[in-house]
Amino acid sequence: MLSEKLKHKKIILASGSPRRQQFLKDLGLDFEIRIREIEEIYPPELKAHEITDYLAVLKSTAFDGDLQPEEILVTSDTIVWHEGVALGKPKDFDDAVKMLRKMSDSTHEVFTSVCLKTTEAVTVFHDVTKVTFASMSDEAIHYYLETCRPFDKAGAYGIQDWLGLTVISKIEGSYTNVVGLPTEKFYRYLSSFAV
Active site residues: 77
With beta carbons less than 8 A apart as the criterion, state whether 109 and 49 touch: no
Helix (H) or strand (E) holding 116: strand 107-117
Distance of alpha carbon 107 from the chain centroid = 18
Burial of 41 (0-12, 13-18, 19+ CB in 10 A): exposed
CB-CB neighbours of 190 under 10 Å? 23
Helix (H, G, I), strand (E, B) or coil at 90: coil
Distance of alpha carbon 79 from the chain centroid = 7
